[in-house]
Amino acid sequence: MGFSNQERINMNSKALAAAVIDANPIAQWYESRNAFSFLVDGNSVLTEFSSVPAAGSLSAAQTNATNNPTIIQDKSLVTDAIRLTAVAGTNNSTWIAYSTYNDASSAVLKNWIQPQLVPQSSGAASNGYAIVLYDGDPNSGGTEITTTDGTTGSGSSKTVGWIFQYSTGILLLSDDFKSSVADPYIMGFRYIGATATSASTTSQRVEFSLVADATIAIGDVLRLVTSSDVGLTEGRVVKANASTVSGADCIGIANSSGNQGDSINVVSEGLVSIKFGSSPASSSNGQTIFLSTTDGQATLTAPTATNNAVTILGKLVGASGSDDTPNCVLRIREPIGP
């Protein structure tokens, strides 16, 4: 005979509320000997999460994402809504956020920013980061599903119709409510900063400051201006480009943004986020990355056109399929000309 419902309730209550575990249904939490803890992988240990600012409103969250593009990914606009995929065998009660809809081999979009993990100064949750759920594409007539939709009962018997698990990107629908959400989409914000498996700290890289001679964004691949650059100031940095050998002589990656005349941080070695033209798939991790013929960008394919230079930048390690500025191990090699 399996566990009774009451046995399961008692076991889960002790684990979740008191962080102890055993299968004795009559033992109280203070009588249990074994501590309970969750097992998490390194990608779920968010080492830069303390840098996520509080957000009491959607506009504040969007501003935070703009100001912290390497930590917060903004998926709050209707044009960026993520269509969820039904998990096979769950009878449409469980849905998951894949980077490619209905492709279980693609990366799961995890680590959505849970409002309660970013308290405001008042102690209130940062509801600006809250997930918004739609049935149907919100960009073409979808219907918003509020947090109270599907709720039944009252008082201690009150129970909700749906739950979104921020850490895993999974939507759970009650059996009675699942028919009301046939094609779910979500909007919100994801943490895309460093994790325990891709921690990006100053101790892991060589970083210094130089003056920009153009508008520079975080993740741009940079080179120094030389005497052959007409109209530019020698010794400053601009975006590198593999179209020519002189333009492909990289010195590092921008780790801060700025305009012409601003001082910016440049990483020349170690772990750093690098800009790509599109988001590399997680299956590409470990591949060699090269300087692109697009200003300031990296690519997984070495340039082959006449007069192009080949500059190896390093190795891709942080691709998820949804981030166009993933972490890379930077090991720049001198450009090879035609």
CA 270 to the chain's CA centroid = 20
CB 282 within 8 Å of CB 109: no
Tokens of 102: 């209905």
Q: What is the pLDDT of residue 227?
A: 82
Widest distance between CA atoms in the chain: 83
| Spatial separation of the C-alpha atoms in residues 263 and 209, rounded to whole Å | 6
Q: What is the pLDDT of residue 74?
A: 94
> 32 and 56, same structural domain?
no
Mean of all residue pLDDT scores within the chain = 90
Instruction: Among 166, 191, 216, identify where a domain stops.
Output: 191
> 230 and 107, same structural domain?
no
Q: Which residue has the tokens 């008191």?
A: 18
Instruction: Among 140, 165, 191, identify where a domain stops.
Output: 191
> 294 and 279, same structural domain?
yes
Confidence of residue 198 (pLDDT cuts 50, 70, 90): low
CB 184 within 8 Å of CB 248: no
Instruction: Among 191, 217, 234, identify where a domain stops.
Output: 191
> 63 and 186, same structural domain?
yes
In the three-class reduction of DSSP (H, G, I as helix; E, B as strand; rest coil), residue 38 is classed as: coil
Domain tally, the chain: 3
Confidence of residue 77 (pLDDT cuts 50, 70, 90): very high
Q: What is the pLDDT of residue 248?
A: 92
CA 102 to the chain's CA centroid = 20
Residue 311 predicted with pLDDT over 90: yes
Q: With respect to residue 213, please indicate whether it lies within any of the assigned structural domains.
A: yes
Residue 120 predicted with pLDDT over 50: yes
For 209, counting Cβ atoms within 10 Å of its Cβ (0-12 exposed, 13-18 middle, 19+ buried), the class is exposed
3-state secondary structure labels for all residues of 278-331: CCCCHHHCCCEEEECCCCCCEECCCCCCCCCCECEEEEECCCCCCCCCCEEEEC
> 179 and 63, same structural domain?
yes
> 146 and 103, same structural domain?
yes
Q: What is the pLDDT of residue 203?
A: 53
For 235, counting Cβ atoms within 10 Å of its Cβ (0-12 exposed, 13-18 middle, 19+ buried), the class is exposed
Question: Which of 283, 259, 287 has the alpha carbon at shortest distance from 274?
Answer: 287
Tokens of 174: 């009650």
Within 13 A of 144's CA, how many CA atoms are on the CB side? 7
Residue 2 predicted with pLDDT over 80: no
Q: With respect to residue 312, please indicate whether it lies within any of the assigned structural domains.
A: yes
Residues linked to residue 67 through DSSP beta bridges, in sequence order: none
> 183 and 53, same structural domain?
yes
Residue 202 predicted with pLDDT over 60: no
3-state secondary structure labels for all residues of 62-100: HHHHHHCCCCEEEECCHHHCEECEECCCCCCCEEECECC
Q: What is the pLDDT of residue 204?
A: 61
Strand 237-239 to 221-224 pairing: antiparallel
Q: With respect to residue 197, please indicate whether it lies within any of the assigned structural domains.
A: no
Question: Which of 274, 72, 94 has the alpha carbon at shortest distance from 191?
Answer: 72
Q: Give the chain's count of helices (H) and strands (E).
A: 2, 18
> 49 and 24, same structural domain?
no
Q: With respect to residue 338, please indicate whether it lies within any of the assigned structural domains.
A: no
Tokens of 80: 């960026």
Residue 13 lies in domain: 1-37
> 182 and 136, same structural domain?
yes
> 301 and 186, same structural domain?
no
| Spatial separation of the C-alpha atoms in residues 235 and 251, rounded to whole Å | 11
Q: With respect to residue 222, please indicate whether it lies within any of the assigned structural domains.
A: yes
> 126 and 95, same structural domain?
yes
Q: With respect to residue 196, please indicate whether it lies within any of the assigned structural domains.
A: no
Residue 199 predicted with pLDDT over 60: no
Confidence of residue 200 (pLDDT cuts 50, 70, 90): very low
Provide the 8-state DSSP code for 115.
Answer: G
CB 186 within 8 Å of CB 83: no
> 101 and 47, same structural domain?
yes
| Spatial separation of the C-alpha atoms in residues 300 and 314, rounded to whole Å | 10
pLDDT per residue over 239-271, tens digit each? 999 999 989 999 999 988 999 999 999 999 888
Tokens of 103: 């492709």
CATH number at residue 231: 2.40.300
CB 165 within 8 Å of CB 172: yes
Q: With respect to residue 337, please indicate whether it lies within any of the assigned structural domains.
A: no
Report which residue type is found at 46.
L
Q: With respect to residue 310, please indicate whether it lies within any of the assigned structural domains.
A: yes
